[in-house]
Amino acid sequence: MDGGGIGGLKVTAMIAKSDVVTAYGWGLDALWNGLMSRRSPIHASKRFAERGFVSDQMADVPDLHIAPGESRAAALLRPLLTKLAGKLDPRTPLILATTVGEIEYVEQAVLNADPSLAQQAGPQTLLRRVKELLGLRGEAMVVSSACASSAAALTRAASMLRHDEAEQVLVVTCDSVSEFVYSGFSALLSLCDTPARPFDAQRCGLTLGEAAAWALVTSDKTPLASGAGTAILGWSNTTDAIHMTAPHRDATGLSRAVSRARIMAGCTPGEIAFVAAHGTATIYSDAMELVAFRRALGTPRPIFSVKGAVGHTLAAAGMVQILVAGRALREGVIPPTVGLETPDGSAIGWAHGDPVSIAGARRALSTNSGFGGVNTAIILGRGVA
């Protein structure tokens, strides 16, 4: 591996426009203000009350209108994308990032003994729905890399721009809270029976959440890329190749990704002002991340996780935290890690339960990891680098 970056390529990818829905409601303002309020929308839900799972906590989108026959994922996407329909060049390439797509169709296929329903659950079906809703006719693909999916999709969009394959790429992501996924994480004993507490000494597991979001990634050479956007300056995707669900305890894969992303971005560890961490609140994943940050960045700097507030939104997790990180770069402050009360010993000096001023900061790191040992690291910049 020569680690030589991508010399000679002059295009910087920018997140020029975006929208998001989380358990805080619709829009980035709702998400940002919710985080800054330190109020968590995670709650005890009766949706799966009869199932006997290890937890009843979740961060689902309140008052979601689901049309008859519609999947929860599609219901999350529809209002976001309807506002965007007709406003994009129809040739705009589309990347959909999801882990399970419209998994309710698999549930219904099993419960109703109708295998034909399962065919609708494939992410390719949701991809076609999104294309039709937006009136797009260009290249389209699904990217799925477990809980790093939307972050990985943003790296693919940035790569397409740098290789001059497109002038802009739309990245759409969504995953919903379903019985299928909830039962699986319950079986793996990954769920906490109280709201998740990322990087806390008393953390005991994750809370599942749901979210949908889109980001229009453009070249910094286009008029859309205003100074208010968030630049994708460098990135790296790696695999631990150790275990299907457990993180690598010495954080080799993630620290490698962070270092390479930083080298691609052409910045020093000291220039990275803060980290938007994956921060699932599981014991081993949080510990692994802190090992990686210490190894790749050296001295402590502020980190935050949104998962004590909006839960673990699976494929959407990366884009949600990147949109928050972009807002933090513009506001000069990072939000508190909601749910954090007493930082774990290894998180002292890194994670904070209060907002932290980062006035003047120009570079940030965002990291995600997932099943199969995947890791994605992205270096973000304020405005055009």
Catalytic residue among 147, 174, 192, 267: 147
Nearer residue to other proteins within complex by CB, 118 or 224 = 118
Size of the site for other proteins (CB under 8 A): 65
Give, in order, the Cα–Cα distances in Å from 124 to each of 15, 113, 170, 180: 24, 22, 16, 19
Q: Find the binding residues for other proteins in span 308-327 (CB under 8 A).
A: none
Give, in order, the Cα–Cα distances in Å from 243 to each of 20, 157, 207, 211: 32, 28, 22, 27
Site string for other proteins, 78-117 (x = CB under 8 A): ---------------------xx--x--xx-xxx---x--
Distance CA 253, CA 260 (A): 11
194 binds other proteins, rule: CB under 8 A: no
CA–CA–CA angle 52, 56, 62 (5° rounding): 135
In the list 39, 44, 49, 119, the residue contacting other proteins (rule: CB under 8 A) is 119
Give, in order, the Cα–Cα distances in Å from 150 to each of 52, 99, 136, 288: 31, 10, 20, 21
173 binds other proteins, rule: CB under 8 A: no
Work out whether strand 303-304 and strand 274-276 pair parallel, antiparallel, or are unpaired: parallel
In the list 187, 228, 283, 384, the residue contacting other proteins (rule: CB under 8 A) is 187
Distance CA 95, CA 384 (A): 23
AA identity, residue 201: A
Catalytic residue among 192, 267, 312, 352: 312
| Shortest reach from residue 198's CB to other proteins, in Å | 23
Residue 370 belongs to what H/E stretch?
strand 363-370
Residue 238 neighbours by CB under 8 Å, 6+ apart:
253, 254, 256, 257, 260, 374, 375
Q: Is 243 a catalytic site residue?
A: no
DSSP code, position 300: -
Token pair in block for residue 54: 């290890």
Q: Is 163 a catalytic site residue?
A: no
249 binds other proteins, rule: CB under 8 A: no
| Shortest reach from residue 333's CB to other proteins, in Å | 32
Residue 114 neighbours by CB under 8 Å, 6+ apart:
108
In the list 23, 126, 146, 317, the residue contacting other proteins (rule: CB under 8 A) is 146
242 binds other proteins, rule: CB under 8 A: yes
In the list 58, 134, 160, 306, the residue contacting other proteins (rule: CB under 8 A) is 160
Q: Using CB under 8 A, list all residues that contact other proteins.
A: 1-6, 51-53, 99-100, 103, 106-107, 109-111, 115, 118-119, 121-124, 127-128, 139-146, 152, 156, 159-160, 162-163, 180, 183-184, 186-188, 236-245, 253, 256, 260, 264, 370-374
Residues with active-site annotation: 147, 278, 312
